[in-house]
Structure 1
Amino acid sequence: MAGMQAPRGTRDILPTEVSYWQQIEGIARQILHQAAFQEIRTPLFEQTELFQRGIGEATDIVGKEMYTFTDRGGRSLTLRPEGTASVVRAYIEHGFQAQGGIQRLWYTGPMFRYERPQAGRYRQFHQLGVEVLGTHSPRADAEVIALGLDILKALGLGDVTLMLNSVGSREDRQRYRQALVDYLTPFRDELDPDSQTRLERNPLRILDSKDPKTQAIAQDAPQLLAYLAPASAEHFEQVQQYLTDLGITYTINPCLVRGLDYYTHTAFEFQQLDLNQEATVCGGGRYDHLVSELGGPETPAVGWAMGLERLILLLQAQQVAPEIHLDFYVVAKGDTAERQALKLAQQLRHLEFAVEQDLSGSAFGKQMKRADRSGAKLCLIIGETEATQQTVQVKALRTSEQTLISQAKLVHNRAQLQQWLNGAGLELP
């Protein structure tokens, strides 16, 4: 077992970093709960056909990146490479459409793609996403965009840019496809190898290429917006108007097509310039035909997904640290003192305070240094004298103010403890 390491493209999320994850999930859960979204949890693996039909066989995800295996029953299964197809499968399987009305769902969890690992991109990665199913309204597009921005702002992420486009209906894209192929064909030999392949199978994806030379060629390509039917153009105009009403600024990017075949009409990304080419922290759009393509009734839908690893990199780069919430750090020395400290810590936890108990048994000096580093607001100290008298020293770690109080009185006056934690001073009641 010597030298065992996590598989390439995966990583351990260590305790020093978990607080970022907890903060993101906590903020998202609160904001989405306020918007009447319900959490859904789907399996880590699905039938391979779900992603082939849902994402599209011409995409890089299905063609190159999926972790697919055959189980002992001869079934082809795939670790989920994204969350939307699984949510839609669950929507159909459990008859959500029969309940009537609009379904607002959100999810978070690991996804899997076989791609080259780099900063913020792993083979096992994590997404947080939302899906609104059952409405054509452009208000739904604006609502999910606004909620995504709310989450990013609540996390303290600055300088976020909303990139917006419409990829139109299927019929719009079919008309545009030929115009794009006609434009790009003379440049075939100058395109990067992936784009040369896409020219036949999925030419719109060329607009999303990260190759600089291909990007330069695509800049002068016909724009899909010019090929939108009146109804598609009106939908896009209404989305823009709703965003303006909400005070949300955006930039229209005609080359924004997203990487999945199921998108229709609105497509968008939130980008953060600190990451240069790796700028997208949240992306999504409308997908009005995915439910029917997977065997359900015609059901319009819109949603987005955030990459958590990339988001955490940005927070760390901007030195946006998660709040450490620890109310008390308990220090004790001696058998009786340590027994009392254990009981005191539990009593305080039952009062819904966050408490860490020093279990080292080391000298007071070393324990107090750990208390200073812990981030706790108050330190509770029990030595031999305090143990005999059943008292406890309460020390404010930020001001060094200190007072002595009986252990019984400490745990029977929650209001007083909360005042002390709020920085009101350690005056005795």
Structure 2
Amino acid sequence: MSGGTFQAPKGVPDYIPVPPGERGSSADFLAVRSALLAATAEAGYGYIELPIFEDTALFARGVGESTDVVSKEMYTFADRGDRSVTLRPEGTAGVVRAVLQHGLDRGRLPVKVAYAGPFFRYERPQDGRYRQLQQVGVEAIGVDDPALDAEVIAVADRGYRSLGLDGFRLELTSLGDATCRPQYRELLQDFLLRLELDDETRRRAEINPLRVLDDKRPHMKEMTADAPLMLDHLSPEAKTHFEKVLGYLDALGVPYTINPRMVRGLDYYTKTCFEFVHDGLGAQSGIGGGGRYDGLVEQLGGRDGLSGIGFGLGVDRTLLALAAEGKTAPSAPRVVAFGVPLGDAARDALVPLLGRLRAAGVPSDMAYGGRGMKGAMKAADRSGAEYALVLGDSELEAGTVTVKDLASGQQRSVPLDAVVDELAGG
């Protein structure tokens, strides 16, 4: 509490009904989320709604014990039955659990699903990096096909571009497969353990050496500059897979940059790994990313050989990227028609008229509380409506309503029984 009122928890943003383009606009938020989801629907991804919390062991096993997400960032607590549960930090493990639990993996493959909602990570809040973060994600489970990798990446690219974003870039690499990763791990570990590492970094190098390459500290970047890279040690199969992904992206017209030092923050990634970055956001430049996970389904109790690939796109981060480009997410007006009643009789007539407008698909609102003409018109302007419907004694007597275009200021008299057809387009 501050000053006698409650505040949102630190690192948890509100999205509120302020005009589009203003910070925290819920209209912008909905427009971004809808556009990213629409791109998934265009490619045949069905929607899945996941629990907000799951068994803690699902994330510990699926995401990886050595990751920062599991070791430092999860919101974990005991429920009233003394079971350990965790607010979901990411979506993939939950989707795989749901696919296996409901037997979707025994039907047509790949299982292609999309999801949206909040995820939770306890980390230092920064602009656009929140403890409650909003994402749109997809998972395509059951098939190992480079064409599917390219589709998933293209869906994300399509979602961003449908919003008018063009200042981002796609970076990708291959993290190898079960054939070449063990040898590379040993090679990288030998390199790292010869360096003068602090105790925590040395432990990380022993558990998951690839994560050390993701260390953002300048001295660690310098120390690992000559570290062996996975791309130089791919198996023939992994190399062919990656080359085919690049070929499909070329065919789809999706531009990309190969980044051989890319490391994602989750342990389950194999082969194709990618991130969308926007330099207008400074050091925290990622706006979305994902990759393939060959062993995760089996690790969570599924059949061997069921691979998957997916992404998570940050809605909060995308909003910041749009702002960095001076753009606003295209969104429908919250209100089209705003009623301005001048007197009790006018209000009594406007209430059912607005009901008919809404039933005809015309978003409508009105001035409440007996405001005068000036106050009601100010409310109409603040609503963002396209038209004000002014109704007073003279209009009631004539059986008309004055329809004022709030953008141009032009107004016309329309019969009351024709307003709905006219504003609904016919």
TM-score bracket, shorter-length normalisation: over 0.9
Shift of 1:53: 0.9
Q: Is the 8 A contact 1:129 1:304 kept in 2?
A: yes
Find the partner of 2:350 among 334, 341, 353.
Answer: 341
Question: TM (normalized to structure 1)?
Answer: 0.93
1:378–1:397 CA contact under 8 A, matched in 2 = yes
**What whole-Å deviation, never above 9, does each CA across 1:112-145 have from its counterpart, x for those lacking one?**
1111111111212111100001111100000010
Q: 2: distance between equivalents of 1:343 and 1:291?
A: 55
Structure 1 stretch displaced more, 264-273 or 313-322 = 313-322
Contact 1:44–1:79 (Cα < 8 Å) also in 2: yes
Partner of 2:131: 123
Matched, 1:378 2:387: yes
Q: How many matched pairs? A: 415
- Which ranges of structure 2 fall in alignment gaps of 5 or more residues? 19-24
SS at match of 1:170: coil
More helix by share: 1
Deviations along 1:68-125, one digit per CA (max 9) or x if unpaired, are: 1122222111111111000000000000111232211011111111111111112121
- Give the equivalent residue in structure 2 for 1:316: 323
TM-score (norm 2): 0.93
- Alignment RMSD: 1.7
Deviation beyond 4 Å, 4+ runs, structure 1: none
- Identity fraction in percent: 42
How far 1:146 sits from its partner (Å)?
A: 0.4
Q: What does 1:17-416 align with in structure 2 at a 5 Å threshold?
A: 17-189=25-197, 195-298=201-304, 299-322=306-329, 323-325=331-333, 326-411=335-420, 414=421, 416=422
Gapped regions of structure 1 (runs ≥ 5):
421-429
CA contact (8 A) 1:168 1:228 kept: yes
Conserved in 2, the CA contact under 8 Å of 1:210 and 1:277? no
Using the TM superposition, give the Cα deviation of residue 366 of structure 1 relative to its aligned residue in structure 2, in angstroms: 2.2
* Separation of aligned partners in 2, 1:330 and 1:167: 59
Q: CA offsets, 1:350-390, max 9 Å, x none?
A: 11111121214222122223323432222211012112333
Judged with a 3 Å threshold, the aligned counterparts in structure 2 of structure 1 residues 294 and 249 are, in CA distance, closer, same or farther, namely same
After TM superposition, give the deviation of residue 419 of structure 1 in Å.
5.3
- Report the equivalent of 1:13: 15
Q: CA deviation at 1:324?
A: 4.5
Which whole-Å deviations, capped at 9, do the CAs of 1:218-265 have from their partners, x for residues lacking one? 232111111111000000000000011111111111111211111110
Deviation at 1:318, TM superposition (A): 2.4
Letter in 2 for 1:15: P
Equivalent residue letter for 1:59: T
Report the CA distance shift for 1:76/1:31 in structure 2 as closer, same or farther (over 3 A): same
Alpha-carbon distance in structure 2 between the residues aligned to 1:68 and 1:7: 17
Letter of the structure 1 residue corresponding to residue 256 of structure 2: Y
CA–CA distance in structure 1, aligned partners of residues 111 and 91 of structure 2: 16
Quote the offset at 1:315 in angstroms.
1.8
Which residue number corresponds to residue 427 of structure 1?
none
AA in 2 matched with 1:309? D
Give the secondary-structure state (helix, strand or coil) at the position aligned to 1:163: strand
Residues in 2 aligned to 1:173 and 1:98: alpha-carbon distance in whole angstroms: 29
CA separation in 2, counterparts of 1:7 and 1:177?
A: 40
Are 1:61 and 1:81, in contact at CA under 8 Å, matched by a contact in 2? yes
The structure whose RCO (Cα within 8 Å, separation 6+) is larger is 2
